[in-house]
Amino acid sequence: MPDYAVFILRFCLFAGAHSLFATERVKRMLAGIAGREPRSYRLIYNLASLVMFIWAMSAYGNSPVLYYAPGVWSLVLYLLQLVLLGTLIHCVRQTGMNDFLGIGRIRSGAPPSPPRLVTDGWYAIVRHPLYFLSMFFLILNPVMTAQWLILIALSVVYFVGGALIEERRLVGQFGAEYRRYQQEVPFMIPRLTRLKRPSST
């Protein structure tokens, strides 16, 4: 099997596992087996996802280079990626860094706090800023290999699919509040005029 086919297969396995174990149904099933959802579930989930992603990326070790940004342009693209990385971290902090990483419940030992719908900052201009910013982070890589181009294409499909699944979960969680948010804020393409919109929560 060609390297690119192995990479696509591994990425699909990673994406499937990543999505499956994030669902409430699987969480409830595991909680039923263990008696309750383990406090370290999110942390284990993140670490397992990282290992699987590294495993997927290792499938295409000799990927040909399609193009690279020459000279100062590579530095510009790396700088833009750094800005995007900082913005991604800011978005995660808005929704709770400890909960995202899975260390909040381990530290406190308490059950998770009631969820809060975040609608300010980047969440005021696009409903899924993590996916949007991640796509541009991948696209701005100064060295474009065949593997990286395939990764971009697969990630776009996965991000859009993941966002649609997340939308259903959030509608179930927040009901009418999230439906109003859907009507006011774009799905994946930001509306920059909303950047200074105050929080409605």
Length of the chain: 201
pLDDT at position 113: 63
Supply 122's token pair: 């980047």
C-alpha atoms less than 13 angstroms from C-alpha of 22 in its C-beta half-sphere: 16
d(CA 26, CA 23): 6
d(CA 105, CA 41): 10
pLDDT digits (tens, 9 = 90+) for 3-57: 889 999 999 999 999 988 888 788 778 777 766 666 788 888 899 999 999 999 9
**If DSSP codes are grouped into helix, strand and coil, which group holds residue 106?**
helix
Task: Give CATH 1.20.120.1630 domain extents, the chain.
Answer: 63-201
Topology of the domain comprising 63-201: Four Helix Bundle (Hemerythrin (Met), subunit A) (1.20.120)
Q: Is the dihedral of CA 86, 104, 56, 154 positive or negative?
A: negative
Supply 120's token pair: 């300010």
pLDDT digits (tens, 9 = 90+) for 130-170: 999 999 999 999 999 999 999 999 999 999 998 998 999 89
Q: Which residues of 31-49 are buried (b: 16+ CB within 10 A; e: fewer)?
A: eeeeeebebebbbebeeeb
